[in-house]
Amino acid sequence: MGAGLLVSVDPEAISGSNTQGLTLDQVAYFGKCLVEITPENLEPNLAFLRQNFSKLAIYFDVRKLKSWDSVIDVLNNGASKIFVTFEQLKVLSQEQTISPDRLILTISLVNPQTDLTKLKAFLEGNPKWKTTEWAFDGGKGNEHLDEVLKDVGNYPPSQDQTIYVRVTSESEGTSVLHEYPGNALIISSKALTFTPPKEDEKLIPAVELVLAGATPDRKTGLYATVVVDERDVALGLVWSSKESIAEALKTGTGVYQSRKRGLWHKGASSGDTQELISIGFDCDKDCLIFRVHQKGRGFCHLGTMSCWGRTSGLSRLQRTLQERKVDAPAGSYTARLFNDPKLVNAKIKEEADELCEAATKEEIASEAADLLYFALTRCIAADVTLEDIERNLDLKNLKVKRRKGDAKPQYVEEKPVQDESKQATSNGIAGQQDEEVKEAVSIPKQPSDPAGKTESGRIQLKRYSTSQAFSDDVLKSALQRPSQKSNEKIMSLVHPIIADVRSNGDAAVLKYTHKFEKATSLKSPVLKAPFPDSLMQLPEETIKAINTSYDNILKFHSAQKPTSDLVVETMPGVTCSRFSRPIEKVGLYIPGGTAVLPSTALMLGVPAMAAGCKNIVLASPPRSDGTITPEIVYIAHKVGAEAIVLAGGAQAVAAMAYGTQSITKVDKILGPGNQFVTAAKMIVSNDTSAAVSIDMPAGPSEVLVIADKTADPAFVASDLLSQAEHGTDSQVVLIAIDLSQDELQAIEDELHKQAHELPRVDIVRGAIEHSVTISVPDLEEALKWSNYYAPEHLILQISNPRSVLPLVQNAGSVFIGGWTPESVGDYSAGVNHSLPTYGYARQYSGVNLGSFMKNITSSEVSEQGVGQVGYAVVELARCEGLDAHKRAMELRMEKLGLMEKKQS
Ligand SMILES: *[C@@H]1O[C@H](CO)[C@@H](O)[C@H](O)[C@H]1NC(C)=O
Ligand SMILES: *[C@@H]1O[C@H](CO)[C@@H](O)[C@H](O)[C@H]1NC(C)=O
Ligand SMILES: *[C@@H]1O[C@H](CO)[C@@H](O)[C@H](O)[C@H]1NC(C)=O
Ligand SMILES: *[C@@H]1O[C@H](CO)[C@@H](O)[C@H](O)[C@H]1NC(C)=O
Ligand SMILES: *[C@@H]1O[C@H](CO)[C@@H](O)[C@H](O)[C@H]1NC(C)=O
């Protein structure tokens, strides 16, 4: 729409206490208004903005604001555009998230004068700002506009550049528009009227300024007028005259000029009246636009909404629903929906689900239509209209991200969160190739969740403190892990794969590997020991590193072997004992995909070997040439694995769970994997006919660092980041004991700096979004929250860290002191890194020797023992009514003469 008239309103007009000029409701007919905002009236004006921005576009003159936060607040609360000084423009133009068309460069020709020399220099360096919107706060200087424009090198202004000029009289307005036809006039609401001014009033009839510079039809002298509804759907084409426009403004209704009958009050005879919303011109000011709320049957004399026939689509649906809400035929489905909110909600969820499932274009369109139908029903029931929704969309679009100038522009674009459900349905199960370390079935928390969000774009943990007004509940919700996605859908994709592998064995496994891993040359799904040297060619230093880690892990895990059996005589002659045996056959899943994970192979393979498992089978998805990374083959060789299953995902799990022609069926499956692996493990462990167990559920990786004043900020930051780089669903928590603002800041600065030096900065950013810092006064409080959280990894960067171990109640693995980064445990110290996540550290241990073993117990009763314990057995068996149990003991007691023989 043409720039037209911009009416400035002052506080009296806003509060409705003005005694002359236009009211705010009347100003709204021009579709926009201008308000000056100062530090003093910021709050009431923001309130006004929030409450009225949906009614009309509100421009703010923010030149008197000193704080950047206030300026951004004005933009974020819904201001359409702001008038800024060129000093402000210089800073705001660095903020690339602010669209240039929301900034109006204001050149002041009154005190204090804009320094034109500086402005000119700025424009030379930043030519883009030459053609954006400008405003002249000219006062008496308007006659010098040309000179100013020439002075700064912008003469004549480009055709589509709007220049706002403040005027005080009709003649001034006309002369400005004569110079620059596309321009907009700024005029005070106090100077305008909708009624013919009385003689002693110096008011200007608004219609005069509305029409200034407009082009009427040459033959009739009338203005072509398009009538549209709230959503800009065209209702009809009519004509207007100065008189009809003045009447429309005065009455706030649709009034036009009929070529036959003169002034035409729409609906006067039919009753289908219109409420005026706003008027304006098109781009070259030869066509008026009347935006109205049409009542009754519609605009067209034929009784339809529009002269172009029935309206369709969302507008029609909205209208139908609105009518039905008032007057739904009893028993109709819509009536039922309006009366049963639970039904609507259930339908919305059902349709949303179906939309997610839809695959073809037609299906998606059809399911989206169903979803919109129910969503709109929900809205109309609550008196929310499409217009409200669209305004809301627009407002969200107006939000500005705060940036303090320390984040580089290329980091501002956030990486979109990967939508796994979409991937799973549109590519079938192909999503399973995207494996990440410990990738889990999870989605980030709600976008509304404040944790980790910094509008500045800085990579920073969200701060909380126990000493401030944060309640325990707030802290607990801050410590929530990113929520796990319901995996029904994944389950439904995984079930058929498992069934296929179960009945078709090797052929099915091979088929999926060809499909998902693209390893089409592969002929066999398994690589059997002895593995050829050619498949484990590695650089000397890698071998050495693997050897070192292998030796340490073996040493530590061998030491966990029980040295002797447990034997206890519970009563004289009653001996109980316990002894362990390795689980005979184990299957170890090593994820492939984006990361090479020799460490996982070590952490699973070495304990299995130390435990004495007879058959160790590894499974890992091959590369597209059909080979496995040599590190994994070398480790398989070192731990004495009998075979490597060349498959990933659900098919690998199924192959190991049920066995195939060439793959050994195992008793237990361990190892991390993506959501398909996790789902497959759950399914096979639940199938009693598979007789296979699994390790604990794997969730996203996490670390909690407790730091006090002695901690090195760089170490703390690096430990937080080493977890954050695992995946966007990872979470890191810092518990700061009695740190000052400066000390906290030092850690945050390090985190931000180190994060940007990482190649996986995008993943880090995602993880940090749902990560937090909690400040606590002392160690006890720190441990209280750490134990509550039950982290997978707990790092103690505090003085005297070992003395704190007795207080550690829940954690997967503890890293003691500043010199112990989590990565040492991940790779080489000797402890395992397959640890309980997602709070399971409350009840589970990480993988350890025991994971590959089971305990067997035995009992042995002597003759003496029968006398000691027999009566207890007999009595309890009697209580439970299990006579055969009772008899088994009684017979022995009788034989020993400890009981009278039963009469038969
Ligand atoms: C506009 O803002 C004023 C002042 O905040 C408020 O009283 C009024 O209700 C608002 N008008 C509308 C239509 O929201
Ligand atoms: C690695 O360990 C093997 C024994 O398992 C040994 O033969 C080999 O020399 C070692 N290599 C290096 C580089 O340490
Ligand atoms: C486990 O099996 C039971 C009974 O067959 C079934 O109801 C349940 O849904 C299964 N759970 C999973 C995770 O497959
Ligand atoms: C593995 O980690 C858990 C948790 O830290 C620990 O209990 C267990 O002893 C570890 N086992 C080995 C062999 O490192
Ligand atoms: C098995 O026995 C060993 C000691 O022999 C013990 O440390 C371990 O916790 C036991 N495991 C289970 C699962 O009970």
Q: Is 792 a catalytic residue?
A: yes
Residue where a domain stops, chosen among 379, 398, 417: 398
359: domain CATH number is 1.10.287.1080
Ligand 3 in reach of 687 Cβ (< 6 A):
no
For residues 158-168, average pLDDT = 84
- Is pLDDT of 815 > 70? yes
- Atom number, ligand 5, closest to the C-alpha of residue 562: 5
Q: How far apart are CA 59 and CA 370, in angstroms?
A: 38
CA–centroid distance, 509 to ligand 1, in Å, is 67
Expressed in angstroms and rounded, the spacing between residue 494 Cα and the centre of ligand 3 is 14
Residue 432 lies in a domain: no
Domain identity same for 201 and 262: no
User: Averaging pLDDT over each range in 444-458, 636-650, 816-830, which range is the top one?
Assistant: 636-650
Both 163 and 280 in one domain: the answer is no
Is 799 part of any domain?
A: yes
Residue 442 lies in a domain: no
Which residue, among 716, 727, 719, 899, has the nearest Cα to 823 in the 3D structure? 719
Query: The domain containing residue 241 runs over which residues?
Result: 223-294
Q: Does the C-beta of 855 come closer than 6 Å to ligand 5? A: yes
Give the domain CATH number at 727: 3.40.50.1980
Convert 85-108 into a string of H (helix), E (strand) and C (coil): CHHHHHHHCCCCCCCHHHEEEEEE
Averaged pLDDT, 228-244? 92
pTM: 0.47
For residue 629, report the distance from its CA to the centre of ligand 2, in Å.
18
Cβ atoms of 550 and 606 within 8 Å: the answer is: yes
Same domain, 801 and 883: no
- Show which of 345, 368, 398 is a domain's final residue: 398
Q: What is the CATH number of the domain that holds 267?
A: 3.10.20.810
Q: Identify the residues whose C-beta falls under 6 Å from ligand 2.
A: 540, 543-544, 547, 638
What are the beta bridge partners of residue 793?
703, 813
Mark whether 556 and 650 lie in a shared domain: yes
Q: Is residue 836 part of a domain?
A: no
Ligand 1 center to 52 CA (angstroms): 6
Whether 617 and 680 map to the same domain: the answer is yes
42 and 176 in a single domain? The answer is: yes
CA distance 351 to 365: 12
Ligand 3: residue of 686, 688, 689 to mutate (most ligand atoms within 8 A of CB) is: 686
Whether the CB of 704 sits within 6 Å of ligand 3: no
pLDDT tens for each residue of 712-754: 999 999 999 988 888 777 889 999 999 999 999 999 999 999 9
Query: Does residue 792 share a domain with residue 870?
Result: no
Ligand nearest to the CA of 840: 4
Q: Which of 551, 602, 704, 831 to mutate to test the pocket of ligand 4 (most atoms within 8 A of CB)?
A: 831
191, 213, 235: which is the final residue of a domain? 213
d(CA 881, CA 876): 9
The residue among 815 and 413 whose pLDDT is bigger is 815
Ligand 4: residues whose CB is within 6 Å? 556-557, 560, 607, 812-813, 831-832, 835, 845-849
Exactly one of 637, 752, 793, 833 is catalytic; name it. Answer: 793
Comparison of pLDDT for 409 and 710, the residue scoring more: 710
Q: What is the pLDDT of residues 832-884, one digit of tens each?
A: 566 777 777 776 777 777 787 877 878 888 888 888 888 888 888 888 788 88
| pLDDT at residue 858, as a whole number | 80
What is the pLDDT at residue 837? 78
Residue predicted with more confidence, 595 or 591: 591
With bands split at pLDDT 50, 70 and 90, how would you rate the model's confidence at 594?
low
Q: Which ligand is nearest to the CA of 639?
A: 2
pLDDT at 177: 77
% residues pLDDT > 90 (the chain) = 36
The number of the ligand 4 atom at minimal distance from the alpha carbon of 814 is: 5
In a domain, 380, yes or no: yes
Q: Quick one: which H or E segment has residue 715?
A: helix 713-724
CA distance 415 to 227: 43
**DSSP E strands: which ranges in 783-824?**
793-797, 813-816
| pLDDT confidence tier of residue 250, bands split at 50, 70 and 90 | very high
Judge if 644 and 592 occupy the same domain.
Answer: yes
pLDDT band (50, 70, 90) for residue 785: very high
Tell whether 720 and 804 lie within a shared domain.
Answer: yes
Checking if the pLDDT of 403 tops 60, the result is no
Read off the CATH number of the domain in which 205 is found: 3.20.20
Q: What is the mean pLDDT of the chain?
A: 83
Instruction: Determine the pLDDT at residue 455.
Output: 45
| Phi, psi (deg, nearest 5) at residue 628 | -110, 150
Is residue 152 domain-shared with residue 86, that is, in the same domain? yes
Determine, yes or no, domain membership for 439. no
CA–centroid distance, residue 579 to ligand 5 (Å):
8
The answer to whether residues 517 and 621 touch, using CB atoms and an 8 Å cutoff, is yes
Residue pLDDT, tens place only, 59-102: 999 999 888 888 888 988 889 999 998 888 888 877 657 888 89
Is 417 inside any structural domain?
no
State the chain's maximal CA–CA distance in angstroms: 132
Q: Catalytic site residue 756?
A: no
Q: Confirm if 713 and 746 have CB atoms less than 8 A apart.
A: yes
CA of 651 to the centre of ligand 3 (A): 19
Please give the tally of structural domains in the chain: 6
Mapped onto helix, strand or coil, the DSSP state of residue 70 is helix
**Residue 780 or 199, more confident:** 780
Note the ligand closest to the C-alpha atom of 682. Answer: 3
Task: Based on the fold, state whether residues 261 and 362 are members of the same structural domain.
Answer: no
pLDDT at residue 412 tops 60: no
Q: At what angle do helices 540-559 and 598-611 cross, to 10 degrees?
A: 40
Considering the domain architecture, whether residues 706 and 756 belong to the same structural domain is answered as: yes
C-alpha distances (whole Å) from 552 to each of 546, 547, 824 are 10, 9, 12
Question: Quick check: is 303 in a domain?
Answer: no
Pocket of ligand 1 from Cβ distances under 6 Å:
14, 47-48, 51-52, 55
Measure 560 CA to ligand 5 centroid, in angstroms.
10
Instruction: Considering the candidates 748, 792, 822, 890, report the single residue annotated as catalytic.
Output: 792
- Higher per-residue confidence, 542 vs 423: 542
560 lines ligand 5 (CB under 6 A): no
